[in-house]
Amino acid sequence: MGDQKSDPWQPGTAGLLRLPSGRAVRGRGLGYPLPEGPRPEFALYLLDHEPPAFPWTYRWVRWEDFGLPADPADALSRFRQALERAGRERVELACLGGRGRTGTALACLAVLDGLPAGEAVSYVREHYSPHAVETPEQEAHVRAFTP
């Protein structure tokens, strides 16, 4: 398998989002098969229930479908951890469908990475999925997101 730390996400990886700083993270839906190619080294799972075990390091953010994180301070801490690790590891963010919660979290990462909060939803929709960030509540959360 080789040294995964020297094998970053490859361009063209499904769900890849390049943040403004150049760091890359992968968004995906856990309801779909694991994409081919390298596996994540760290993941952040955004679910209303604890995820199953994975063979890589991961953290869980309690987050209802179509809603917002149950504990915003915990979510912010996890987002910071994911962003920091994205500088040196393959990082994945995922909810069940890979759109609403994942898109919202990716937009928050983009804000942490320096993008103005008012531009983050558009950025994620353009560079990740046009269906990202599904509800007005999620959009408002990103616009008001302050690290």
pLDDT tens-place values along the chain, 147 residues long: 333 344 478 888 999 999 999 999 999 999 999 998 899 999 999 999 999 999 999 999 999 999 999 999 999 999 999 999 998 999 999 999 999 999 999 999 999 999 999 999 999 999 999 999 999 999 999 999 988
Distance CA 48, CA 46 (A): 7
Q: For the whole model, what pTM was predicted?
A: 0.93
Half-sphere CA count of 112, side-chain side, radius 13 A: 19
pLDDT of residue 2: 38
pLDDT of residue 4: 39
pLDDT of residue 129: 97
Specify whether the CB–CB gap between 134 and 103 falls below 8 A: yes
pLDDT of residue 19: 96
pLDDT of residue 35: 92
Beta strands in 1-147 (DSSP E): 16-18, 24-29, 42-47, 57-62, 91-95
pLDDT of residue 10: 86
